[in-house]
Chain A
Amino acid sequence: MTMEPKSWGRYPRVSGQKAHPVTWTSEPLPVPPEGGSLLPHGLGRSYGDSCLNAGGSLLTTERLDHFLGFDPATGVLRCESGVTLDGILRLVTNQGWFLPATPGTKFVTVGGAIANDVHGKNHVRVGTFGRHLRRFELVRSDGSRRVCSPEENRDWFEATIGGLGLTGLITWAEIQLRRVSNPFMHQETVAFSNLEGFLKLASESNRDFEYTVAWVDSLARGRHLGRGLFHRANHAPPQFTARQPSPPRLSGLAVPFDFPGLALNRVSVTAFNALHYRMRNQGLMHYEPYFFPLDSVHHWNRIYGSQGFVQFQCVVPPNDAGVAALKGILDRSAHSGMPSFLTVLKTYGDVPSPGWMSFPKAGYSLALDFANRGERTYQLVDALDRLTREAGGRVYPAKDSRMSPESFAAYYPERERFAQYVDPAFSSSFWRRVRGAG
């Protein structure tokens, strides 16, 4: 079956991909097509080309979605790699458990969460998803199967976490969940008037709040550069169970078609930002809208029109050079005439990931997304890439469609060691791009 799966950003587009559905963990891997290669593909929520494989095969894992066991006493969950974070949360929250690290969408498979070593708003406290993995099975194109854990096949374990699906197919994984008292979050929002305000709030809040994230007004300049809203939250304590707010009714809301290219212009983004900046709220809310506000609108990526969008997410070190880079990036995008629709600023802690290629490291992470306006957009993103590199930061492959081979080499010092663990039959459009191989 040929398919044209796009990544979430719908840029770049690639052709000639074939889907090979994997239904059972015991199935042998297919032989890649002549001159082609294999790449595991979950729900395609990576933004750029790390989930694409031009001219090759995608091992689709939608049906590799069996739960293999859950112990409500210890919170250890075993499941196949196509199980989604949504599926896990639905199974475990009512039994008093929660995912230890959660990205901004629940429509992510466990395999994808490992391959991208995803993280959440609690990175400072708990690190990445990979840190909470107990073990998983890795199947290679030579037919070998390895159970990988910190004790067993440790090198394979560390290469595969954040390994972008290139080390083989993960068939199942075992995750240590974390306890919660109920499905609710207690959160509050505080405004800050510039980047310094954010830094101050971030360091204060990390003491008392597990989850912190800031939304930034991408159009504010000058003394308001980096103004925004700081959201901080904790899981609700047990006493809140008595007066539970009702869980959200899932909106059937969906963006039915591509918006025309002009929908996201300076005026609409200004209006949205001005409105958002005035929003203040505090109190109890269900975990769904807290963690996954965008998931309630299906296909929200369509608001960017058929050309898609380019997301840029970097992390810079927590020093003067890092802060200067944040200012430079915000300033550059505010003056670009191509406003970022959603700009998110987070703090990362120094809890290390087992993954050699894992993206997060201690510092500040900034994510921006730009409607794809062609060359102008690419030049802007390339400039942001350079600013990140100069500051000693790095860019997130899951969100990337532009980083150069030179940047990749600078960002990921373990890449050569990692390359030895890449399955000879596996590749991706991203991997070929950053290896300078077309």
Chain B
Amino acid sequence: MKKVLVLGATSAIAQATVRLLAARGASLYLVARHAERLEAVAQDARTRGAARVEAETLDLDDFAQHEPLVERATAALGGLDGALLAHGVLGDQERAQRSYGETEKVLRTNFLSAVSLLTPLANRFEAQRAGTLVVISSVAGDRGRQSNYVYGASKGALSVFLQGLRNRLAPAGVAVVTVKPGFVDTPMTAAVKKNALFASPEAVARGLLRAVDTHQDEVYLPDFWRPIMFLIRSIPERVFKRLKL
């Protein structure tokens, strides 16, 4: 990935990935909501050696902007061969249970906005017969659990969408990488008590780029989540529904 569009560039995982891409001398088009934070991330990437950094302040819940955004990024970098979708919200499960409004907000940001962005990106990459789409999903999408099934559903839907997209784009030589982090120590999880399962955003970013470099389709980060999620998926539903997970 040499010319990369990064969506949700101020998220902890995106920032860590941007630093690694910058050190490789990539050109970056960074998008996030907060202008000041985005500027810090952009300056950081420039200082660390990115060939070129453009930054655009945009709320990605504004779907009408998605197509023009992809156009602007492509024009600004003189082409595009990679995109990282790292924006998302954890949402509030309890509030979502009380009101559909919260549920819809989580689904819109985590699933629909990703689909809306991936549509023009996929078409462009398919036409140019090259490119890599990297999307941050979550282990929470592997099985619905009472403690956060709304977030889990948004990520589960995203993972399934990406499977289909990968299947469609494979003949064109376009890679679709589904990244499934477990718990990551970021501002998103600031309120959660940390334990040994938590990974740093830096470790996740390194794993993410390793997955891109080695042409993996779906990667669990850290990789101990693959067997854990295999086990969790293997529990029969009649047992699972009694568990407090």
Binding site for B on A (CB under 8 A): 1, 21, 23-26, 63, 66-70, 79-80, 91
Contacts and interface: CB of A to CB of B under 8 A. Distances in A.
B41 interface: yes
Contacts of B190: 1, 21
A257 to B, nearest CB: 16
Nearest to B10: A24
B43 interface: yes
Contacts of B193: 1
Nearest to B187: A23
A70 B40 contact: no
A68 B48 contact: no
A80 B47 CA distance: 12
A94 to B, nearest CB: 10
A20 to B, nearest CB: 10
A91 B12 CA distance: 21
Nearest to B190: A21
Contact of A67 (B34, B37, B47): B47
B36 interface: yes
B187 A21 contact: yes
Contacts of B43: 66-69
Given A24-B37, A26-B36, A68 B44 contact: yes
B142 to A, nearest CB: 27
B3 interface: no
A67 B41 CA distance: 8
Interface of B: 12, 34, 36-37, 40-41, 43-44, 46-48, 187, 190, 193-194
A25 B37 CA distance: 8
A293 B234 CA distance: 50
Contacts of B34: 24, 26
Given A24-B34, A24-B37, A69-B43, 13 more contacts: A1-B194, A21-B187, A21-B190, A23-B187, A24-B40, A26-B36, A66-B43, A66-B44, A67-B48, A69-B46, A69-B47, A79-B47, A91-B48
Across chains A and B, which 6 residue pairs bring their CB atoms closest together, nearest first?
A67-B47, A66-B44, A26-B36, A66-B40, A68-B43, A67-B44
Contacts of A63: 12, 187
B20 to A, nearest CB: 13
Kindly name the residue among A1, A23, A69, A80 whose own CB sees the greatest number of chain B CB atoms within 10 A.
A23
A25 B46 CA distance: 18
A406 B126 CA distance: 75
Contacts of A26: 34, 36-37
A68 B187 contact: no
Contacts of B37: 24, 26
Contacts of A23: 187
13 contacts: A1-B190, A21-B190, A25-B36, A26-B34, A26-B36, A26-B37, A63-B187, A66-B40, A67-B44, A67-B48, A69-B46, A79-B47, A80-B40
Contacts of B48: 67, 91
Contacts of B187: 21, 23, 63
B47 A91 contact: yes
Contacts of B40: 24-25, 66, 68, 80
A68 B41 CA distance: 8
A66 B12 CA distance: 12
Nearest to A20: B190
B35 to A, nearest CB: 9
A79 B43 CA distance: 10
Contacts of A24: 34, 36-37, 40
B47 A70 contact: yes
B197 to A, nearest CB: 16
Nearest to A65: B44
A80 B43 CA distance: 11
Task: Name the residue among A63, A67, A69, A80 with the largest chain B CB count within 10 angstroms.
Answer: A67
A79 B34 CA distance: 19
Contacts of A79: 47
Nearest to A19: B190
Nearest to A24: B37
Nearest to A83: B44
A265 B34 CA distance: 56
A68 B47 CA distance: 7
Nearest to A66: B44
Contacts of B41: 66
A199 B70 CA distance: 68
Nearest to B201: A63
Contacts of A25: 36, 40
A175 B34 CA distance: 27
Contacts of B44: 66-68
B132 to A, nearest CB: 26
A1 B187 CA distance: 12
Contacts of A1: 190, 193-194
Nearest to B193: A1
Nearest to A2: B193
B196 to A, nearest CB: 15
A1 B190 CA distance: 8
A26 B47 CA distance: 20
Nearest to A80: B40
A79 B40 CA distance: 10
B47 to A, nearest CB: 4
Contacts of A66: 40-41, 43-44
Q: Which of B34, B37, B40, B194 has the most CB of A within 10 A?
A: B40
A2 B127 CA distance: 52
Contacts of A80: 40
A25 B35 CA distance: 12
A21 B40 CA distance: 17
Contacts of B46: 69
A258 B44 CA distance: 38
